[in-house]
């Protein structure tokens, strides 16, 4: 009897109960010892894989024995090529870090035996340790996390991707359930968040709020030390940052932000600099914290500073207001026509001045296209209709050139600070890179931003450098929302712990330690302590309490 013959019989009970066991000690930690004893004492012969789970999700007690009667050669091939992909044997179940010496699983879709394969054909480790209380090898766990964190694959898609990636080298691979992988992700995130931080006085904090559906907002404080800043000019990456503090709150005030900063400082020591976007509660909290700790500098995020400078100039420009209104109207007019490929970009309803460059670049390119009329595009573009719909763009030609120069200055400043940071003398160095021949509004923006950088860097010590941008934190928030997918519709959930999982280096030793020290029960306790019931849970309780 092969595995595929038994699959329909035990998939409901075994796979769901595997999910609970794979989550480690969790809420069932008190049963672990008894379960291991039962498992290790169960008689087993070579070629037989025994699966004994004392409790499944329905509360039933099931014992399922799967007799995998295939050739000893096929078993040895799978076991040698990738032991971590096979299930844990009784001998390996009793100790952490043991390797599996047993039989693998046939694919659900293709139960046929694979032909013998070379161990080097598989990209995973040949001898794969298994974290304590787990049944998948460390390489499988790390591959799942890598695909989710680095490749931004959805968790269900990651399971499919692993089967596809290893279908040739390991045809008998059974990838983990996506819910199992989700539990690994949350435990790694909680481990990174709560592990001890280096105590030093050169920490640089980046902080900002993220929101979801509902009234709550979450403050995230991440950081890195000055000693760990990039040696070469480049933007920060997720692996450069360390999660320090994450807390959802219903109402954020400057006093609350100061309290959160004090709690973060207990973990790392008083930071040298705090970078924020200048929001009222954030800036007020940072100022209160800096008053209590004079050695801490308050740094204004350069992206938001540039947006404020642009807003001060463009909001007074009547031509700009007319242009943005016309572009929004044009977008609605042509989006269902043959000219949809050239429609204006959609404008943001909030923080409009953070992406002004997208609109001005569109205007410059379409204007040049209407003037030059490349012959090779005659078959794709109806020039008469283009002139008819876009003729209004011609009256903004001189203003578009002016707005382009303004954006050129702000983008140069943002790029410099994003890759170099703030240091004494950064303003004069940047001034040499920005051309002098600019229109009057662009020249005023240049002077304002250089004066701002000179003021910010004046408090720094000689040869000291701090960061001046929180854009990497915005990128992390974007990745988190991508990973949450539909969960974000119900406000903050336990997936908030994916945020610290995205940060710092997720090496094998980090994953192994996280899965052996952090229980599913710890994740549950953290979630309930931070924001109690999710919106989905409240909705379920509300609907269950009424009769319809």
Using the predicted structure, report yes or no on whether residue 165 has a pLDDT greater than 70.
Answer: yes
Output the DSSP codes for 224-256. EEGGGS-SSS----GGG-EEEEEEEESS--HHH
Can you give the pLDDT at residue 488?
Answer: 67
Count of CA atoms in the C-beta half-sphere (13 A) of 96: 10
Q: Name the helix (H) or strand (E) containing 487.
A: none
Using the predicted structure, report yes or no on whether residue 149 has a pLDDT greater than 50.
Answer: yes
The 8-class DSSP code of residue 351 comes to S
The answer to which of 65-74, 204-213, 243-252 has the lowest mean pLDDT is 65-74
Joined together, the tokens standing for residue 58 give: 């329905």
Percent of the chain whose pLDDT exceeds 70: 76
CA distance 353 to 312: 10
The answer to which of 121-130, 414-423, 504-513 has the lowest mean pLDDT is 121-130
- Judged by DSSP in three states, 49 sits in strand
Can you give the pLDDT at residue 182?
Answer: 94
* Phi, psi (deg, nearest 5) at residue 412: -65, -45
CA 142, 148, 151, 156 torsion-angle sign: positive
Residues 98/134, Cβ–Cβ less than 8 Å: no
Residues 276/301, Cβ–Cβ less than 8 Å: yes
Q: What angle do CA 90, 92, 96 make, to 5 degrees?
A: 135
Highest mean pLDDT among 14-28, 30-44, 324-338: 324-338
Highest mean pLDDT among 17-26, 467-476, 539-548: 467-476
Q: How confident is the model at residue 348 (pLDDT cuts 50, 70, 90)?
A: confident
Does the model's pTM come out above 0.85? no
The answer to which of 34-48, 295-309, 319-333, 372-386 has the lowest mean pLDDT is 34-48
Q: Name the helix (H) or strand (E) containing 456.
A: helix 440-457
- The mean pLDDT value for 187-204 works out to 96
Can you give the pLDDT at residue 89?
Answer: 35
Using the predicted structure, report yes or no on whether residue 258 has a pLDDT greater than 70.
Answer: yes
The answer to which of 44-58, 417-431, 515-529 has the lowest mean pLDDT is 44-58
Domain ranges of the chain: 3-176, 192-301+470-541, 307-457
Residues contacting residue 251 through CB under 8 Å, at least 6 positions apart: none
Can you give the pLDDT at residue 243?
Answer: 97
CA distance 191 to 501: 8
Q: Which residue has the higher pLDDT, 533 or 460?
A: 460
Cβ atoms within 10 A of the Cβ of 420, count?
Answer: 20
The answer to which of 8-22, 255-269, 430-444 has the lowest mean pLDDT is 8-22
- The mean pLDDT value for 457-464 works out to 92
Using the predicted structure, report yes or no on whether residue 97 has a pLDDT greater than 80.
Answer: no
* Phi, psi (deg, nearest 5) at residue 66: -115, 120
Can you give the pLDDT at residue 42?
Answer: 38
Can you give the pLDDT at residue 256?
Answer: 95
Can you give the pLDDT at residue 534?
Answer: 76
Can you give the pLDDT at residue 443?
Answer: 95
Q: How confident is the model at residue 321 (pLDDT cuts 50, 70, 90)?
A: very high
CA distance 207 to 268: 15
In terms of DSSP H, where are the helices of 49-152? 72-81, 90-93, 138-149
Q: What angle do CA 248, 252, 254 make, to 5 degrees?
A: 130
CB neighbour burial string for 340-374, b if at least 16 within 10 angstroms, e if fewer: eebbbeeeeeeebbbebbebbebbbebbebbeeee
Q: How confident is the model at residue 131 (pLDDT cuts 50, 70, 90)?
A: confident
Highest mean pLDDT among 126-135, 144-153, 486-495, 528-537: 144-153
Joined together, the tokens standing for residue 484 give: 């949450």
Q: What angle do CA 261, 267, 272 make, to 5 degrees?
A: 60
Using the predicted structure, report yes or no on whether residue 56 has a pLDDT greater than 80.
Answer: no
Give which of 174, 163, 107 is closest to 137, Cα–Cα: 174
Residues 78/170, Cβ–Cβ less than 8 Å: yes
Q: How confident is the model at residue 141 (pLDDT cuts 50, 70, 90)?
A: very high
Can you give the pLDDT at residue 124?
Answer: 55
CA distance 392 to 325: 12
- The mean pLDDT value for 82-92 works out to 37
Can you give the pLDDT at residue 353?
Answer: 76
Q: Which residue has the higher pLDDT, 444 or 84?
A: 444
| Mean pLDDT, the chain, integer | 78
CA dist list (Å): 78 to 93, 436, 476, 499: 19, 68, 38, 36
Pairing of strands 273-276, 297-300: parallel
Residues 389/333, Cβ–Cβ less than 8 Å: yes
Joined together, the tokens standing for residue 113 give: 């035996």
- The mean pLDDT value for 454-459 works out to 94
Cβ atoms within 10 A of the Cβ of 146, count?
Answer: 14
Residues 410/453, Cβ–Cβ less than 8 Å: no
User: Angle, nearest 10°, between helix axes 302-314 and 440-457?
Assistant: 150
Can you give the pLDDT at residue 40?
Answer: 36
Residues 170/186, Cβ–Cβ less than 8 Å: no
Q: Which fold has domain 192-301+470-541?
A: Nucleotidyltransferase; domain 5 (3.30.420)
Condensed to tens digits (0 to 9), the pLDDT of residues 399-416 reads 999 999 999 999 999 999
């Amino acid at each position: 009897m092969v595995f595929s013959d038994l699959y329909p019989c035990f998939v409901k009970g075994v796979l769901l109960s595997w999910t609970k066991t794979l989550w480690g000690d969790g809420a069932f930690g008190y049963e672990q010892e008894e379960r291991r004893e039962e498992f290790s004492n169960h008689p087993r012969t070579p070629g037989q894989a025994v699966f004994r789970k004392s409790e499944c999700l329905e509360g039933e007690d099931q014992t399922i024995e799967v007799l995998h009667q295939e050739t000893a050669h096929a078993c040895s091939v799978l076991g040698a090529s990738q032991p971590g992909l096979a299930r844990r044997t009784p001998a390996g179940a009793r100790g952490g870090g043991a390797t599996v010496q047993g039989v693998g699983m046939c694919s659900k879709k293709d139960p046929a035996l694979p032909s013998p394969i070379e161990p080097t054909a598989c990209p995973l480790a040949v001898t794969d340790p298994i974290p304590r209380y787990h049944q998948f090898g460390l390489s499988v766990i790390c591959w799942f996390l890598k695909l989710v964190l680095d490749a931004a694959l959805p968790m269900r898609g990651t399971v499919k991707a692993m089967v596809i990636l290893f279908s040739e080298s390991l045809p008998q691979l059974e990838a983990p359930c996506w819910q199992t992988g989700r539990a690994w992700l949350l435990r790694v995130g909680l481990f990174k968040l709560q592990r001890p931080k280096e105590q030093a006085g050169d920490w640089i904090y980046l902080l900002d709020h993220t929101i979801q559906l509902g009234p709550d907002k979450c403050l995230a404080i991440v950081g890195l030390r000055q000693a760990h800043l990039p040696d070469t000019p480049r933007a920060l990456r997720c692996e450069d940052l360390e999660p320090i503090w994450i807390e959802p709150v219903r109402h954020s005030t400057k006093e609350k932000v100061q309290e959160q900063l004090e709690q973060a400082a207990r973990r790392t020591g008083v930071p040298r600099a705090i970078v924020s976007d200048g929001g009222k509660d954030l800036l007020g909290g940072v100022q209160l914290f800096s008053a209590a700790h004079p050695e801490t500098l308050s740094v204004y995020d350069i992206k938001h500073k540039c947006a404020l400078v642009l807003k001060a100039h463009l909001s007074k420009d009547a031509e700009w207001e007319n242009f943005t209104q016309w572009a929004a109207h044009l977008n609605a007019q042509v989006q269902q026509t043959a000219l949809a490929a050239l429609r204006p970009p959609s404008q943001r309803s909030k923080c409009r001045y953070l992406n002004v460059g997208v609109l001005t670049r569109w205007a410059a390119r379409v204007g040049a296209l209407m003037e030059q009329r490349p012959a090779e595009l005659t078959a794709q573009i109806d020039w008469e209709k283009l002139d008819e719909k876009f003729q209004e763009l011609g009256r903004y030609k001189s203003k578009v050139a002016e707005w382009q120069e303004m954006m050129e200055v702000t983008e140069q400043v943002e790029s410099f600070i994003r890759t170099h940071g703030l240091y004494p003398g950064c303003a004069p160095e940047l001034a040499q890179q920005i051309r002098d021949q600019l229109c009057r509004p662009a020249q005023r923006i240049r002077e304002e931003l250089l004066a701002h950088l000179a003021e910010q860097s004046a408090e720094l010590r000689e040869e000291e450098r701090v960061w001046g941008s929180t854009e990497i934190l915005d990128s992390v928030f974007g990745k988190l929302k991508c990973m949450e997918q539909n969960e974000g519709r119900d406000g903050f959930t336990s997936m908030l712990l994916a945020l610290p999982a995205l940060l710092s280096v997720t090496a094998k030793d980090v994953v192994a330690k996280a899965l052996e020290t952090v229980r599913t029960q710890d994740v549950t306790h953290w979630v309930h302590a931070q924001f109690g019931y999710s919106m989905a849970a409240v909705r379920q309780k509300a609907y269950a309490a009424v009769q319809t």
